[in-house]
Each structure stands twice: as C-alpha cells, then as structure tokens.
Amino acid sequence: MLPSVLPTESDHIPVLADEVVAALDPRPGEAIVDATFGAGGHASLLAKRLQGDGKLTAIDRDPTVAPYFERFRRETGVKARLHHGEFSAVLEHLAENGVGADVILLDLGVSSMQLDRPDRGFSYAVDAPLDMRMDPGAAYSARELVNEGEEGQLAEIFRRYGEERYARQIARAIVKRRQGRPFERTGDLVEVIKAAIPAPARFGEGHPAKRVFQALRIEVNDELGALARALPAALQMLRPGGRLAVISFHSLEDRIVKRFLRSQEHGCTCPPDFPLCVCGAEPTMRATPRRALRPSAAEIARNPRAQSARLRGAVKA
Ligand SMILES: C[S@@+](CC[C@H](N)C(=O)[O-])C[C@H]1O[C@@H](n2cnc3c(N)ncnc32)[C@H](O)[C@@H]1O
C-alpha cells in the first residue's frame, strides 16, 4: 500500500528555477518532457511559458507523484500525460516511437518528499525500514543489497559512489553484523557505520552515515546507469533547435553529463592522432551555457538542498 500523499506547502522546492527556465526557454506550441517530475515545481514554471498552447510529458519512477501531477494538470490546464517508469526506458520508448520534444529536463536524484518521508528509508536521520527504492515496486532495495552484497562489492560501492574513506572497514563491519542478524532498519545500519569509523572521523564532514547512504541509494536505483542511457535517448527525441537541461547533485553525475555533451559537441570520433577526420560524424549539440551553473548564495540560504546542484544545458544542432 502506498502512503497517502497529498501535496503540501513543504513540498520539493525547484532548484535553479530561473536558470532552468532561461536555459530551456519553452515557447507556445512546444512539447516539453520533464523526465523527473517530482512535485512538478519545474514543470509548472516551464508549462507557464506555453501560454496554454503546447504539451508536457511527465516521467517519474515513483508512483506517489500522481497527486502532484493531478494538481499540476488542474492548476496549469496544460495538455499533459504522466508516464510511470525509469526515465531512460521511457525516453528510449518515446524516441523509438518517433515522439519528438523541444525541451527536456532531467533534475536528478531524490525529491524532498522522498527524503523526508521516513517510510521510504532514504534518510540516516530517522529510523525506518531499510529501503531507498525510488520506485517502491522495484525488486531490489537497500535491504537486499546490505544483507546479500559481498564484502568487496559493498566496499567498492561505498568508495566509488560515496567517496567513503572507511569503505573497507564499514563493509567488513556490515558483513560481520549480518551473520548474526540481518539488517532491517536504517537505524541499525547507522549504528554499525558509526562504530566502524575511527572516533575522530565521526565528527568531521557531516553525518558519519551520509556517504554510505548516498552510495547505497545510487546503487539501488542504478542512478548513473539510468543517466548514461537517458542522455542519448533524450538527444534522439529532441527536434533540431531543441533544448536539454540536466541538474546533477554530485560529481559522478556531472561528469557523465559533461562528457556526453563534449562528445556530442565534438562530433568526430576518429582517434586523436588521425591527421584528418574519416568518420564524418558532425557535432550534434552545443553546450549552453558553456560552463555548469551553480546556485547563488541566496538560493542556498533559502534552500540548503540546492548546495551541490550544477546545471548543464545544450541545444540540438
Ligand atoms: C529532484 S526530484 C525532481 C523534482 C522536480 N524537478 C520538482 O521541481 O518538483 C527527482 C525526481 O525524479 C525521479 N527520478 C530520479 N531518477 C529517476 C529515473 N531514473 N527515472 C524516473 N524517475 C526518476 C525521482 O523519483 C524524483 O521524484
């Protein structure tokens, strides 16, 4: 059973909102795809620019966004449709079926509603069932990963996706503890992480479980794989002159976006030591703005979750 979810005033605050609207610049009559609908904050701002003429396709793998989508439809009156699913799969499906778009937005990661709802198990700050699935219908949760993952695999996940310095020690402690009793709740995991970290390190750089929780969430939801698959599908969907914007929240995501845009801007795939291009591949996108945009100090003060956000945009050639 899904929890009852009614939109409230404390819903997700859209990050870099003015910058997103400026980069995507939707015009009346255009087709917008918001691939990470969430509470529909960005979608509402983008839809306003359509002035009642155009359509918006919303995607989210979390079915609890449905009431937010209904509110969006009621308040904007825009022609809109919600697809429940993983965005790379939905974008690929739409592209294969010849559906075009003028504007595509990906605002990555979890929403405030997912983080703040204890039963979703994303937060290290409250004791809750160990879950972290963005789609509560997905087969694989943090519970399976933490109780069944091999020690080496867990350490690698913590190191790579969380940049956790004590990855090996934490993985070892998890495997030792689960031999007696499997992990069921976030609180148990937090205790084991704290105990595995040397005492002085427990008080530096934020909550001691923050990096491990981020790493588990990225792995459980295959966040980097989904992003890498979604970018070419988004490019395929975009019409000439179409605009793409991606908001990422950590360097691993931003690197995938940056590399993809660079390769599309470059076009040619010949080895660098070839004196002449023989592949004939043309640039397909132009990054604009050239560099990633960061939130202002005023935005971070208003919405601390914007702190690590980076926005990259591009126009299809
Ligand atoms: C940061 S929130 C988006 C908030 C939204 N822009 C707003 O203004 O309310 C990210 C949303 O994207 C969804 N999401 C993240 N990765 C996804 C994926 N690979 N496929 C589909 N939905 C995804 C999450 O479930 C979440 O609802």
Cα–Cα distance, 157 to 259 (Å, whole number): 22
For residues 123-159, one letter each, b for 16 or more C-beta atoms within 10 angstroms of the residue's C-beta and e for the rest, the string is bbeebbebbbbbebeeeebbbebbbebeeeebbbbbb
Cα–Cα distance, 299 to 304 (Å, whole number): 8
Residue nearest to atom 24 of ligand 1 (CA): 110
H-type helices in 85-128, by residue range?
87-96, 112-116
Which of 30, 32, 35, 72 is CA-nearest to residue 54? 30
Q: What pLDDT does 132 receive?
A: 97
Cα–Cα distance, 39 to 13 (Å, whole number): 8
Residue nearest to atom 9 of ligand 1 (CA): 39
Q: Which residue has the higher pLDDT, 6 or 290?
A: 290
Q: Does ligand 1 lie within 6 Å of residue 60's CB atom?
A: yes
Q: Report, as an integer, the average pLDDT of 163-184.
A: 96
First to last CA, the chain: 46
Q: Which residue has the higher pLDDT, 143 or 205?
A: 143
256 pLDDT tier (thresholds 50, 70, 90):
very high
Distance 58 CA to ligand 1 centre (A): 10
Strand pairing partners for 285? 316
Distance 108 CA to ligand 1 centre (A): 6
Q: Which residue has the higher pLDDT, 157 or 198?
A: 157
Q: Does ligand 1 lie within 6 Å of residue 311's CB atom?
A: no
Residue nearest to atom 7 of ligand 1 (CA): 41
Which of 17, 140, 37, 161 is CA-nearest to residue 87? 37
Q: In a 3-state reduction of DSSP, which class is residue 75?
A: helix
Taking 80 as the threshold, does the pLDDT of residue 249 lie above it? yes
Q: Are 95 and 237 in contact (CB under 8 A)?
A: yes
Residue nearest to atom 13 of ligand 1 (CA): 36
Distance 109 CA to ligand 1 centre (A): 6
Q: What is the mean pLDDT of the chain?
A: 93
118 pLDDT tier (thresholds 50, 70, 90):
confident
Strand ranges inside the chain, DSSP E: 31-34, 55-60, 79-84, 101-107, 238-248, 285-287, 310-316
pLDDT digits (tens, 9 = 90+) for 42-55: 999 999 999 999 99
Cα–Cα distance, 286 to 317 (Å, whole number): 7
Q: Does ligand 1 lie within 6 Å of residue 87's CB atom?
A: yes
Taking 90 as the threshold, does the pLDDT of residue 290 lie above it? no
Q: Does ligand 1 lie within 6 Å of residue 107's CB atom?
A: yes
Q: What pLDDT does 6 receive?
A: 56
Q: What single letter denotes the amino acid at residue 202?
A: R
Distance 106 CA to ligand 1 centre (A): 8
